Chains A and B, each alone.
Chain A
Amino acid sequence: MSDEFNLSVNQLDALREIGNVGAGNSATALSQIINKRIDMNVPKVALVPIETVPDIVGGPDTIVVGVFLRVYGKAPGNILFLLPQKSAFYLVDTLMGREHGTTRKLDFMDESALMEIGNILSGAYLNAFFTFTQISMLPSIPALAMDMAGAILNVVLVQLGQMGDQALVIETEFLAEDDGIDGHFFLVPDPGSLNTIIRSVGVE
């Protein structure tokens, strides 16, 4: 296993706070777009065995919509915004001004709208991240897939799998006030980026 995962309690706290500020920014952005209150939990910063990551969103065969963005900059990584199918349909109905329950399948416009949400959330997140760490990072254009959670998470897990058997995930759950939306926002730093992030906050 790689040494960079030997983090102190304070360092984990620092990462959690970065996740907190980033996700707070994202939640505010999402809230403004759909005009509903968005609650979020305290970000989970955890080092977990790679094969257990799909369980965070309900198991590898749960159907989810995933918006994936590659993050470029000094501390590259991946962002994955996962919504259970029901939440994604609800969010699309909200965005398109349709009655809830209308959407049963995502069309081109729906997908585009969800990718834009992923874009906005990532931008908000990374802005806060910059304020905190002074590490400037840019998201790629988003890509979207609706499929099994395990299959979608493969994309980020494979990269980590090359370096070790553990994944450090910074994960935040978003909940809309009426329980219609339950989203999971993952920031998964590339192996190697973690050191850069930790150094930037100067916590031992």
Chain B
Amino acid sequence: MAGLIKVGMADYKVGRSPSILISYGLGSCIGVSLYDPVSKIGGLLHIMLPDSRQARASDNPAKFADTGLPLMLNDVLAQGANKSRLVAKLAGGAQMFAFANATDIMKVGTRNVEAVKQVLRTMGIKLLAEDTGGNYGRTVQIDLSNGVYKVKTIDRGEKDI
């Protein structure tokens, strides 16, 4: 059995085949993976918020899309991945509770998705697949032996993207 590496909220992990990186219980958070299919090196990042510049001081860059992604990219490259081969997948960004007068913070899921895509574009990394939005939680994992990104839900089954 390949090693299962847990990625907590506002954290990221990198590894290589045959490890599996997993992050549990994403709501408005996003699980974004980077993967090099040739060297089979990749990473999974679990961000909470879109933009570190809109937040007050934080010691943890992995909490934000704009600071977390470059950090993980560096680590994945340091492990020996090739940037031109890297592809990204992402899932999450739900709005868990429907309120008629939902504030901006309740719609943070949508903003997270947009921010991640923007950062990926800036970094020049191709987004291969996504499973975002809705009002339900997701557990996500990426299998570094083949790059399959699995999204598990409670009532909506699971799928590979």
Where the two chains meet, the residues of A that have a C-beta atom closer than 8 Å to any C-beta of B are 1-2, 50-51, 54, 59-61, 63, 66, 68, 70, 140, 143-155, 157-159, 161-165, 191
Contact = CB atoms under 8 A, between A and B. Distances in A.
B27 A155 contact: yes
Given A145-B135, A152-B27, A158-B49, A164 B9 contact: no
Interface residues of B, number: 34
Interface in B19-56: 24-29, 48-49, 54-56
A50 B10 contact: yes
A165 B28 contact: no
B79 to A, nearest CB: 24
B56 A61 contact: no
19 contacts: A2-B57, A51-B9, A61-B24, A66-B96, A145-B97, A145-B135, A148-B154, A153-B25, A154-B27, A155-B27, A157-B48, A161-B10, A163-B55, A164-B57, A165-B10, A165-B59, A165-B60, A165-B63, A191-B56
B15 interface: no
A140 B106 CA distance: 14
B84 interface: no
B139 interface: yes
Contacts of A151: 25-27, 29, 94, 96, 136-138
B128 interface: no
Question: For B8, B97, B105, which residue has the most chain A Cβ atoms within 10 angstroms?
Answer: B97
B126 to A, nearest CB: 28
B11 interface: yes
Interface in B72-110: 94, 96-99, 105-106, 108
B48 A154 contact: yes
B96 A147 contact: yes
Given A59-B24, A146-B154, 10 more contacts: A50-B9, A50-B48, A51-B10, A59-B25, A60-B25, A61-B24, A63-B154, A148-B27, A150-B137, A152-B137
Of all A-B residue pairs in the complex, the 7 with the closest CB atoms, nearest first, are: A150-B25, A151-B137, A60-B25, A154-B27, A151-B27, A148-B25, A148-B137
A72 B138 CA distance: 30
Contact of A147 (B11, B55, B154): B154
B137 A161 contact: no
B28 A154 contact: yes
A150 B27 contact: yes
Contact of B97 (A143, A149, A161): A143
B25 A61 contact: yes
Nearest to A144: B97
